A and B are shown apart, each in its own frame.
Chain A
Amino acid sequence: MILFNSFRTADPLEYHKSFLKENCRPDGRELDEFRTTTLNIGPISTAEGSALVKIGNTAVMCGIKAELTVPPSDTPNKGYIVPNVDMPPLCTSKVRSGPPEEQAQAASQFIADVIESSEIIRKEDLCIQKEKLCWVLYCDIMCLDYDGNLLDTCIVALLAALKNTQLPKVTINKDTDVPEVDLLQKSPININKHPIGSSFAVFDNTIIIVDPTGDEESLATAVMTLVTDEEGRLCALHKPGGTALSGEKLQHCIGRAATRHREIMKLVDKIIESMKK
């Protein structure tokens, strides 16, 4: 055991390769197996919607805050969504305190792109009165523990939190022009599409594994995140570089992502159902 652990410390790449040669991974998973995904919907009572997701050791908390505002002048009939991914120093030793590092910024941009591309929520639904009042949803995604595959975890957290979001009814008083918020009448927002992500890592330019851990991510020659919706359409194919993949390999990954999508959808639906009881 001691020998094994020193092997891991001394030459992590060779350590991982020796497992992958046998078609398994250091944590006992198969190459195309995801880690256990645990989802808790609604842990924060002060937020409009929230979710806590754990994929293996990666833990992400998402909270949704809704505020009333004036719609932007270029899209007067739409509300808007502001996502932000935060990676505080507590989540991994690689992050230092200070302004957000590139990974967190890239993740924020990615989540914003996914919201935009998938139309997870119709922005028209967030509008209360044209040119006057709309909702703005602040989606704060906080990484609590980082062990790879941040993007998948963030998307599941975002989706679950949005499904959990309840907005109070707002009416505009015709005489005074002042919005009146009825906190007793709350209704969930309409989720238009259900995007779910699947991340892949390429090892040694040839072997593709799913759901990489932090170690695997840092040793891999490329990482890729695929986001699909329930109709099997792709909302994002995010591969920021690294080893090249052929169209055939990509197609294989898309197939795996579809299976993962069904799996997570069932989980989310079942949990939402359990909360209604």
Chain B
Amino acid sequence: MDVNEHEVSPATREFGCEQNLLSRPDGSATFIQGNTNVLAGVYGPAEVKVSKEIYDRATLEVLIQPKIGLPGVRERAREQCVRETCEAALLSSLHPRSSLSLILQEVHDDGSLLACCLNAACMALMDAGLPMSCLFCGITCVISTEGQIITDPTLQQEKESRAQMTFAIDSIEKRVMMSSTKGSISVQELQEAIALSQRASERIFQFYRDSVHRRYSKIQ
């Protein structure tokens, strides 16, 4: 791996995923982006608490567990982002009055954690066989102090950057489903980052496709 090359041109790190690795959840997946690793588990559709019941669709709960300590406000904000992205993708009206829960466990954070959470969530939802209107993926972009846009940054690159953006892109029209930014960004930079993320998303969706293809390759 040439470190310098990664710094100058936008790239995606090594991806890895494994589905169905936990026996208890209805769907599970681990997603790896370089050294960043997130484990996801999905339960549902199952019975729902009366207080949380929604009469025309399923109730989705998302929990993000940090590696050290208890979840805080930062995790709450991330949970909200992941939950609303999943809600938009899931056809939850097919399972009214039921509960879906998605639990994400941070295994190692080396940058692009929220993006990795989104990818792991999508893989786990696929593994659980829940009906979805589209797939989604997460991409983080940072703008370095020299004004370079770096996709899928490491933790070090995130720390050295002056702005950071995470997008969720849908698989049908490659539009922006979720956006979360940090730092001040010019409009030109934003549009460039969106365009880059859309390009990177194609690779992630191809990766999804390849993994699913491989998984069902033995089924006649």
Direct A–B touching in the complex (beta carbon < 8 Å)?
Answer: yes
Residues of A participating in the B interface, judged by any CB pair closer than 8 Å? 102, 105-106, 108-110, 112-113, 116-119, 193, 221-222, 224, 229, 232-247, 250-251, 254
- Chain B interfacial residues counted at CB < 8 A: 37
Q: Which residues of A contact B79 (CB under 8 A)?
A: 102
CA–CA, A114 to B186, complex, Å?
Answer: 15
Main secondary structure of the interface of A (DSSP, over half): mixed
* Contact between chains at A113 and B182 (CB < 8 Å): yes
Q: Is B176 an interface residue (CB 8 A)?
A: yes
Q: Is B146 an interface residue (CB 8 A)?
A: no
Which B residues from 41 to 83 make CB contacts under 8 A with A? 73-74, 76-77, 79-83
CB distance from B181 to the nearest CB of A (A): 5
Whether A232 contacts B187 in the complex (CB less than 8 A), given A237-B181, A241-B87, A247-B176, comes out as yes
* Contact between chains at B187 and A239 (CB < 8 Å): no
Whether A229 contacts B184 in the complex (CB less than 8 A), given A246-B176, A247-B176, comes out as yes
* Contact between chains at B194 and A250 (CB < 8 Å): yes
| One of B178, B184, B187, B195 near A241 (C-beta < 8 A) | B178
Q: Which residues of A contact B74 (CB under 8 A)?
A: 109
Which of B13-21, B24-32, B99-107, B167-175 binds A? B167-175
What are the nearest 6 A-B pairs in CB distance? Answer: A241-B84, A244-B175, A241-B85, A109-B77, A239-B179, A244-B170
CA–CA, A83 to B87, complex, Å?
Answer: 29
Closest to A101 in B: B76
Whether A238 contacts B84 in the complex (CB less than 8 A), given A106-B76, A245-B175, comes out as no
What are 7 of the A-B contact pairs (CB < 8 Å)? A105-B76, A105-B77, A117-B183, A193-B184, A234-B184, A241-B81, A241-B86
Q: Which residues of B contact A251 (CB under 8 A)?
A: 187, 191
| One of A116, A193, A244 near B88 (C-beta < 8 A) | A244
* Contact between chains at B88 and A234 (CB < 8 Å): no
CB distance from B85 to the nearest CB of A (A): 4
Q: Is B130 an interface residue (CB 8 A)?
A: no
* Contact between chains at A243 and B76 (CB < 8 Å): no
* Contact between chains at A108 and B73 (CB < 8 Å): yes
CA–CA, A106 to B179, complex, Å?
Answer: 14
Residues of B participating in the A interface, judged by any CB pair closer than 8 Å? 73-74, 76-77, 79-88, 163, 165, 168-170, 173, 175-187, 190-191, 194-195
A sample of 15 more A-B contacts (CB under 8 A), given A102-B76, A102-B79, A193-B184, is A106-B77, A112-B73, A221-B88, A234-B186, A234-B187, A237-B179, A239-B179, A241-B88, A241-B168, A241-B177, A242-B85, A244-B176, A246-B175, A247-B194, A254-B190
* Contact between chains at B80 and A106 (CB < 8 Å): yes
Closest to A221 in B: B88
Q: Which residues of B contact A237 (CB under 8 A)?
A: 165, 179-181, 185, 190
* Contact between chains at A244 and B185 (CB < 8 Å): no
Q: Which residues of A contact B181 (CB under 8 A)?
A: 117, 234-238
Whether A244 contacts B173 in the complex (CB less than 8 A), given A109-B74, A109-B76, A222-B88, comes out as yes
* Contact between chains at A234 and B190 (CB < 8 Å): yes
Q: Which residues of B contact A239 (CB under 8 A)?
A: 176-180
Closest to B76 in A: A105
Q: Which residues of B contact A193 (CB under 8 A)?
A: 184
Q: Which residues of A contact B77 (CB under 8 A)?
A: 105-106, 109-110
* Contact between chains at B186 and A240 (CB < 8 Å): no
* Contact between chains at B177 and A243 (CB < 8 Å): yes
Closest to A116 in B: B182
CA–CA, A67 to B61, complex, Å?
Answer: 39
CA–CA, A156 to B2, complex, Å?
Answer: 47
CA–CA, A238 to B164, complex, Å?
Answer: 12
Q: Which residues of B contact A110 (CB under 8 A)?
A: 77
CB distance from A13 to the nearest CB of B (A): 11
CB distance from B26 to the nearest CB of A (A): 22
